Structure formats: C-alpha cells, structure tokens
A and B are shown apart, each in its own frame.
Chain A
Amino acid sequence: MNVLSDSLLELIRRASAEIPDDVHRAILAALEREKQGTIAQSAMKIIERNIAMAKTKSQPICQDTGTIIFYVQCPAGFDQIGFEDAARGAVKLATVKGFLRQNSVDSLTGANDGTNVGPGSPVIHFHQQRSPEAEVRLVLKGGGCENVGAQYSLPNEKLKASRDLDGCRRAILDAVLQAQGKGCGPGILGVCIGGDRATGYEFSKEQFLRPLDDHNPNPELERLEQDILSTANKLGIGPMGFGGQTTLLATKIGVLNRLPASYFVSVSYMCWAYRRQGIALGSNGDIRKWLY
C-alpha cells in the first residue's frame, strides 16, 4: 500500500460510514417537519439513529454501497495510471474490510468475484485544471436510487412538456412522481438540461458534488431548483413513500448545450443515504484536507 492508496481507503471508509454535514442538517430539518406519531416520523427517526450508528461503528450507512464514482481534479502531469492502480487497490481492501459490499457483478455470467474491481468499476472521471492542487471526490450511489433515475426527450406530449423551462419542470416533477418512495426518499435530485443521452446523465450526477445549501449561479435555474423542491414537498409522498411532508431534500440543476434535434432532461435521484466525500491531496498523496 502506498500513501495515496491509504488516503483513498480512508476516503471510501468515511464516505460509506459518515453522512456529510450539509446532508445531515437537511435530514434533521426534515425530521422536525414530520407530524408526531406518523409512520413518516418513525422512518425519519430510524434514519437519524442509523446515521449516528454508522458513524460510531464505522460501518456502511446502507448495505448497498453503490456504484463507486471518483471525480479527480488534477494538474497537468498528474499520474492518472498510478491513481487508477491506487484506487483499485483501495477499493479491494475497503471491500475486504466491509466498508464496501461485494457489489460488482459480471453482467453476462452473473459471477461476482467479490473484489468490486472489474470493467466499469470503479468509475473514475479525470478533469485537468491549471491549479497545482489535486482533489478527489467520491460518490457512492446505491442501485435503488439509480433505478428511479429518468431521462426525458422533449417535447413529450403525454406530459405536455415543451422545449422550455416549464417543459423541464413537468419532466422533473414526473420523475419525482414515478419514483415515489422507491429511491429511498427523502431524496435529492441532480438534473441536467441538454447534453446527449450519456453526457446528460453524467452531468446530472455531477450535480451531487454541490453542497445542498449552495445556490445556483444562474438565477433562472435557482428559481427552478427552489420551485421543484417546494412543489415536490406538496405532493405528500414523504419519507420512504409513506406519505408525509418531505419528499425531496434538495434539487440541483445544471445545463449543457444540446443539438438542435435533441432536448434531453436527465434526472438522477440520490437517496437520503447520500454518500459523498472529498479530499485535497498533499504532495505525496496524503490527505491535506477534507472537502465536505
């Protein structure tokens, strides 16, 4: 094990066992909102107890430790091959230690070699930057919430959704309705307007790197984010789909250019067990600081 691999192991452990502070604050506020004696309140109490237990025991918040997605911001000349080796080593060790479930299955044979390393796992996105700093962010995205993601191609006649922000709003709220509690709500939406089918979903997931309490720099999108959040929370779907006050904790929307022929709205759903952490790397691969 080298220093970088040790740092990534600790990043995985903390991402799997500890909910970020911004998400925890949103969950506590949601717990306050649920009415006394309802099953929605019971569910939120269990969620809150679960968050505390996972941290104390240093064990996974959720047994589905999800798709392992690394986002690496790095300077030119950064050893990407070395990083990939270190990441695979850390993932294997994190699996042995029980921070990650044996979660990666050969799609044709159904075989699970128990390592979490194989084609497409872990996912690593590199982005070069001019700054000499290297930062690594990690999202562990569970399968239940991934399965309720949705991509809409506008116009959509059934939803009366045209190629404008009202059409986007209709599509996003339809995704919330269809998801109900199946994605382990209260959830968080990451949305991309535009892009192609692949980049749209990819960018919708990148929205999960944003702190929940930030503001969209684009005022129109900021309004849409707030509108989706407040409208979704009127629907009464509630925690786990039990009925209740909080259906969503936040919505984050990004935009990519599109082709004239295409207009995709891609919606990724993140469960309440929002596992996201990040580290800034020191010069020898050590953890210089935590990012969330």
Chain B
Amino acid sequence: MITLATPVTEAAVRALKVGDEVAITGTLFTGRDAVHKYLHDGGQLPAGVSLRGGFLYHCGPVVIKDQQGNWRCVAAGPTTSIREEPYQWQIIRDLGLRGIIGKGGMGDKTLAACKDYGCVYLHAVGGAAQVLAECIHKVPNVYFMEQFGAPEAIWEFEVAGFPAVVTMDAHGNSLHKEVFAASQAELARNL
C-alpha cells in the first residue's frame, strides 16, 4: 500500500504504476457530469476550490446535515467515469490535476493526458459507499449546491486512508485496456 498525501508532486504520480494499491490522505473535491460539462464550456472553479496537485473524485455522495448543522457524509462511492471522457483530458491539462478517482476506467484521450501532464486514474471500489464514507472525516464545504443539486455539487472532503487502485498510470498503461483485450480473446475461444 502506497500512501499519497495531497498536494502530490508530479514525480510522486509518475512513480505509480498500474496495479499499485494506494491510500489517500488530505483533501478531495468531488465533480461529476454537471461539473465536467460546466468546466468544458468555459466555467470557472469557485473561489476555494483548487485542483492543482490534487484529486478529483467522480462521486455523487449522500450527505446530510447533523443536529449541529455540520455536513456529514453517509455514503460516498465512486460513479462511472467514462461519461467524463469527452472532457477529462482538458481538465487535467488546464487545472493541474494529479489524480482522478472513479470507477470503470476511462478512454484513450484521458490516458494520453495522464501521460502528457502527469496524472493517474485511481479506481475505487464501486458500490463500497460505507467503507469509503468512513474515510471522510470532515466535509468543510460544498459548492454549486443550488445550481447542480446535491449529487452533482462539488463537495470538499477531508480524507484519511482512502483506498484505491492505480488502473491507468502516467506511462500509457491501462488495466482496462488489458482486461478488455484478454477477455475478448477468451470469449472468442468460447463461442
């Protein structure tokens, strides 16, 4: 298990390879469909959100307010990342992201951007909303709540020991491409 603390350096990210298990500590920002389209269309991140050296988590959490009025995250697994494929490369290039956390993997444009700009794709276990929510110790802020609704908002999470696996690295390798090719060949033998 490799520990990554935000902000991470380009060198730390380039040292990672497909199959590495990591534990993330520090700040994560969520962003999914609405945020990606908004940024792609020229929208600006709100003051207080910086992705430079950080991680963007494809996640639409369940967050409720406790009796003291603080946000408490009760479920926070990853959402399917491939929907952001048209936009992700540009966000990596322009906003200095070092990691994307999601599920299901992404395509060639994102893989190329990971290589060109020093970024990795980290796969969290889809559906594991409780295990992952337990790693979120604080929810300091939420942005775009009114505009995009709770699942699509940018949530700021303070996390410790958040588990994920590198499935696309900064060297052009993708576990998703490997598994697809191998499974396609095996299926052909079984038809």
Chain A residues with a Cβ under 8 A of chain B = 39, 42-43, 46-47, 49-50, 53-54, 57, 59-65, 98, 101-103, 105, 110-112, 114, 142-144, 147, 160, 170, 173-174, 177, 180-182, 184, 231, 234-238, 240-243, 271-273
Contacts and interface: CB of A to CB of B under 8 A. Distances in A.
Given A49-B128, A53-B130, A243-B182, 7 more contacts: A144-B79, A144-B104, A147-B80, A180-B176, A181-B104, A182-B105, A242-B175
B64 interface: yes
Given A46-B125, A240-B126, A102 B150 contact: yes
B105 A241 contact: yes
B129 A62 contact: yes
22 contacts: A46-B128, A47-B127, A50-B125, A50-B131, A59-B130, A60-B129, A60-B130, A62-B77, A63-B77, A63-B129, A101-B75, A110-B148, A144-B80, A170-B191, A173-B187, A173-B190, A177-B187, A182-B103, A236-B182, A236-B186, A240-B126, A243-B182
Given A63-B61, A180-B104, A173 B191 contact: yes
B168 to A, nearest CB: 12
A57 B107 CA distance: 36
Contact of B103 (A42, A170, A181): A181
Interface of B: 19, 21, 34, 59-62, 64, 74-77, 79-80, 82, 103-105, 123, 125-131, 133-134, 148-152, 163, 165, 167, 175-176, 178-180, 182-184, 186-187, 190-191
A242 B131 contact: no
- Residue picked from B34, B61, B186, most chain A C-beta under 10 Å: B186
Contact of B129 (A43, A54, A173, A237): A54
A170 B123 CA distance: 29
Nearest to A39: B165
B75 A39 contact: no
Contacts of A54: 129-130
A42 B165 contact: yes
Nearest to B150: A102
A217 B105 CA distance: 38
Contacts of A173: 187, 190-191
B21 A60 contact: no
A231 B104 CA distance: 21
Nearest to A57: B130
Given A112-B151, A181-B103, A182-B104, A236 B130 contact: no
A234 B175 contact: no
B91 to A, nearest CB: 20
B128 A47 contact: yes
A268 to B, nearest CB: 16
Contacts of B34: 110
Contact of B134 (A43, A53, A61, A110): A53
Nearest to B180: A180
Nearest to B61: A63
A105 B79 contact: no
A63 B179 contact: no
Which 3 residue pairs of A and B lie closest in terms of their CB atoms, listed nearest first? A112-B149, A182-B104, A63-B75
A279 B66 CA distance: 31
A114 B64 CA distance: 12
A180 B151 contact: no
A144 B103 contact: yes
A50 B127 contact: yes
A62 B78 CA distance: 9
A174 B184 CA distance: 9
Contacts of B151: 101-103, 112
B56 to A, nearest CB: 17
A101 B62 contact: yes
Contacts of B180: 177, 180
B126 A114 contact: no
Contacts of B149: 102, 105, 110-112, 114
- Residue picked from B21, B62, B131, B167, most chain A C-beta under 10 Å: B62
A61 B60 CA distance: 14
A61 B130 CA distance: 6
Contacts of B183: 177, 180, 235-237
A239 to B, nearest CB: 8
Contacts of A111: 149
